[in-house]
């Protein structure tokens, strides 16, 4: 057995690593603990396993944010189809498997969206997309146990665990918690992580942005999850504006990969071939095109972010006005025009807010910033 294991691992790890692996296997036998333990750097070569290439890792917990018209749910319907059938998402590969959707805001539209996608690809998802047609209260034990039982039953039925659990939406399934309370958010995310770990499933929460264009809730949300994406509806200036509806998908946080990932998604309205009770043709949106958008690193923006954090840390004020940041950064970068300075400071502040590193306070048109107390 030892010889077989050694030969199998020979191409993957060095003999020194194999000796460490053997030592740790024996150590685990002696240490009796229900906790998941790791030792040293063993396993460092394990790469990220993707559910949706470059965006959604397997066996993880994350969020996708967007305004109400940013097409989040249409995108998630497309991803459910891709996973259920194995159809690539544009030029990105997927890890085929069943999908569970908690349609907490109503399920009437979801089957129509899936049917329109099936028509486009001439492929049926059969029984590989399962919808739960009511909210699941994720902090009530009885509700969570029902979800555990369902996932176990689906594994027994399909012979594999579902790959993705979508919670649509976070607010509907987090009833009774304070979104701005770090403790409440941590308990919610811990519940998602327990589900993810027990069933080897990715849990994706759909959440709305606030009026400032940021995610709603405590900064604990940003810090405790594995990945975060956002959608942003694009304005149309072309002659086909009525035919094409676009949103930009961007990865804004990933624990194990680069966030230099962004795609433009073009949707169009498709007829379902049926009518409502007044004879109106029913339609829905279907994804037509996925185009990669290469995000470029802007050295002045990166410099501005570092400058802002340093300036706020050294300031004796609780909040620093954006105008003061502009003036100080202009002094540091005299070759930059004032317009560029203002743009870099504004953009960098927005990124730092999304990263949960600074807070914003508004007074009329004036903005001020402070470091986040983590």
> pLDDT at position 26, please?
74
Listed as own residue / partner, the contacts of 120-123 with beta carbons closer than 8 Å and 24 or more positions apart are 120/270, 120/286, 121/81, 121/85, 121/87, 123/85, 123/87
**CA quadruple 274, 278, 281, 282: dihedral, nearest 10:** -70
**Alpha-carbon span 68 to 112, nearest angstrom:** 19
> pLDDT at position 297, please?
44
> pLDDT at position 192, please?
95
> pLDDT at position 238, please?
52
State the sign of the Cα–Cα–Cα–Cα dihedral 56, 224, 349, 74: positive
The fold of the 50-292 domain, in CATH, is Rossmann fold (3.40.50)
**Alpha-carbon span 237 to 33, nearest angstrom:** 61
Identify the CATH class of 299-371. mainly alpha
pLDDT tens for each residue of 213-251: 666 767 777 888 999 999 988 876 555 545 678 999 999
Beta strands in 141-292 (DSSP E): 164-168, 202-208, 227-233, 245-254, 262-275, 281-292
This prediction's pTM: 0.71
Q: What is the mean pLDDT of each run of 10 residues along the chain (374 residues)?
A: 45 57 71 71 67 93 89 94 96 94 84 94 93 92 95 94 93 84 89 95 89 70 88 70 80 80 91 89 92 62 83 90 91 80 86 87 87 74
> pLDDT at position 244, please?
77
> pLDDT at position 122, please?
93
Domain boundaries in the chain?
1-46, 50-292, 299-371
């Amino acid at each position: 057995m030892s010889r077989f294991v050694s030969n199998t691992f020979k191409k993957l790890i060095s003999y020194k690593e194999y000796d460490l692996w053997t030592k740790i296997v024996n150590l685990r036998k002696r240490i009796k603990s229900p906790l998941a333990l790791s030792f040293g750097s063993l396993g460092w070569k394990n790469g990220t396993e993707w559910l949706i290439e470059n965006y959604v890792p397997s066996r993880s917990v994350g969020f996708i944010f967007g305004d109400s018209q940013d097409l989040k749910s249409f995108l998630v319907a497309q991803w459910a189809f891709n996973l259920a059938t194995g159809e690539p998402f544009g030029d990105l590969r997927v890890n085929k498997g069943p999908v569970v959707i908690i349609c907490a805001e109503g399920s009437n539209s979801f089957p129509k969206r899936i049917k329109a996608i099936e028509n486009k690809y001439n492929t049926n998802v059969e029984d590989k997309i399962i919808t739960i047609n009511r909210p699941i209260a994720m902090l009530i034990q009885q509700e969570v146990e029902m979800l555990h039982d369902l996932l176990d039953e689906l594994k027994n039925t399909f012979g594999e665990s579902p790959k993705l659990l979508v919670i649509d939406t976070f607010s509907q399934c987090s009833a009774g918690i304070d979104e701005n309370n770090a403790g409440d958010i941590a308990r919610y995310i811990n519940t998602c992580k327990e589900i993810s770990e027990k069933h080897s499933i990715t849990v994706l929460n759909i959440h709305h942005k606030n009026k400032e264009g940021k995610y709603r809730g405590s900064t604990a949300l940003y810090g405790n999850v594995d990945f975060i994406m956002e959608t942003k509806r694009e304005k149309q200036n072309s002659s086909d504006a009525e035919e094409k509806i676009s949103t930009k998908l961007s990865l804004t946080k990933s624990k194990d990969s680069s966030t230099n990932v962004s795609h433009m998604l073009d949707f169009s309205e498709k007829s379902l071939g049926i009518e409502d009770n007044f004879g109106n043709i029913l339609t829905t949106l279907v994804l037509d095109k996925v185009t990669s958008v290469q995000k470029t690193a802007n050295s002045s923006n990166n410099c501005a972010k570092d400058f802002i954090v340093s300036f706020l840390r050294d300031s004796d004020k609780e909040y620093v006005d954006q105008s003061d940041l502009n003036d100080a950064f202009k002094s540091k970068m005299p070759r930059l025009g004032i317009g560029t300075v203002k743009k870099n400071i504004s953009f960098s502040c927005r990124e730092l807010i999304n990263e949960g590193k600074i807070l914003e306070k508004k007074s009329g048109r004036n903005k001020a910033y402070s470091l986040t107390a983590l």
